[in-house]
Structure 1
């Protein structure tokens, strides 16, 4: 049975260090079990802080980085190397400093990539990449040990926005038009894909996240508040600083 765990720490800096430490341990454990690990990265300020914290952890030296698959939950449909792309920010924060296998870094296609300025084709290409990494005959998706998500002020996760047409997409990936948050065009994993991850980690810092976090943990409908639907098959982990947890009921902080 899947469990939900809510962890609250004092501030955003401690939150980044906490998430980084958990991520390193999760990767080490996955590699001990199977020889490889698969992680879905997110974007945003707190995500960059987490990745920088990973770089500073001595325990990260125990990871065989060439045996880690990296995916992204969503991407801004911008040219390669654009500073607003999640891939660019992740590379600057950590990835460029690691001995990763380039073939195992699965970035979402940019707007100047092989599909040109066609986000539907780019999303379809990413869906094919996911399917190619799945075990033969198992599914359209590889195993994700952990899928990390930031939580937006409106409760969106990845680029799945409240009451947006993307919430009705049934494939593994989708193009997003008219995003309420710039840039307006994006590509994303769908909610059904997010829900296949072994563990989903929802990370939020700051008082502007308090309302959506509290509502999501209480069980609001996910099409109205996508963060409420982002759950892992084994565990859903809410990682919050105190301001973001201000509207989480005390009883929920020990959910299992």
Structure 2
């Protein structure tokens, strides 16, 4: 696994089903944020999109009143985004706002959305802008980076065989995505790995082979991009039984 050999080995946590997985991850996320704030920090969380992420976000909103988290003192970033209108339901940020950010009253300046066509003329310009924003922020390391995994092993908008897998920028533009919409902006593998904890969130038997390949002793990042990211202190694969069925 390129660039990750010196980091802690991944830990696998298997839950009965997607609902149990969502509840467990939401509870752990709230605990991590609360503990970080108690230590005097303003944690930075890198969010992902997708069905299981949406379920986790809704569990966060449900469980938040008992968490003690100060939602005015958490910064939220995004691992990738669809380059579509800012209010499009296809955007990860819109899904996150609807599921928990707006529900919990997170101040807008704490939600760092990737540029849309109304604020950037191209995916490359959007990537440069987001990279500059992240570089200039106080988020020197994410507390937690959450990542979904596609059936092909992709993470964020980093797809097998794509040149962006070897990019050293903070964020890059993507065209010709095999998943619609074709134009996207994504953090690079290096940027996603600049995190104390990296959590992979995977549900369903359609993802089982990708999970197997990502955790296998042999394989390449070019074939399975999920192999290319580990946290500096922790990497945890949160799976349901179906996603773990080939391990």
Return the TM-score normalized by structure 2: 0.94
Question: What is the aligned partner in structure 1 of residue 196 from structure 2?
Answer: 198
Give the corresponding residue for 2:165. Answer: 167
Matched, 1:207 2:205: yes
Query: Residue 153 of structure 1 is aligned with which of 151, 154, 159?
Result: 151
Query: Residue 130 of structure 1 aligns with which residue?
Result: 134
RMSD across aligned positions (CA): 1.3
In the TM superposition, what are the counterparts of 1:75-94 in structure 2 within 5 Å?
75-94=81-100
Q: Return the alpha-carbon distance in structure 1 between the equivalents of residues 104 and 140 of structure 2.
A: 23
CA contact (8 A) 1:3 1:234 kept: no
Verify the 8 A CA contact 1:5 1:236 in the aligned structure 2.
yes
- Which residue of structure 2 aligns with residue 234 of structure 1? 233
Alignment correspondent of 1:49:
55
Give 1:131 deviation, angstroms: 0.9
TM-superposition CA deviations, 1:36-93 (whole Å, max 9, x none): 2110000001101000001111565400110000000000000011010000000111
**2-structure distance, mates of 1:242, 1:125:** 40
Cα pair distance change 1:58/1:183, threshold 3 Å: closer
Number of residues of Structure 1 aligned to a counterpart in Structure 2: 240
Whole-angstrom CA distance in 2 between matches of 1:19 and 1:162: 27
Pairwise CA distance, 1:222: 1.1
The alpha-carbon deviation at position 3 of structure 1 amounts to 3.8
Q: After the TM superposition, which residues 1-256 of structure 1 pair with which residues of structure 2 at under 5 Å, given as runs?
A: 2-58=8-64, 60-113=66-119, 115-116=120-121, 118-134=122-138, 142-219=140-217, 220-248=219-247
Q: What is the SS of the residue equivalent to 2:172?
A: strand
5+ residue gaps, structure 1? 135-140, 249-256
For 2:35 and 2:223, locate their aligned partners in 1 and report how far apart those are by CA, in whole Å.
35
Q: Residues of 1 paired with 2:191 and 2:132: CA distance?
A: 13
Q: SS where residue 87 of structure 2 aligns?
A: coil
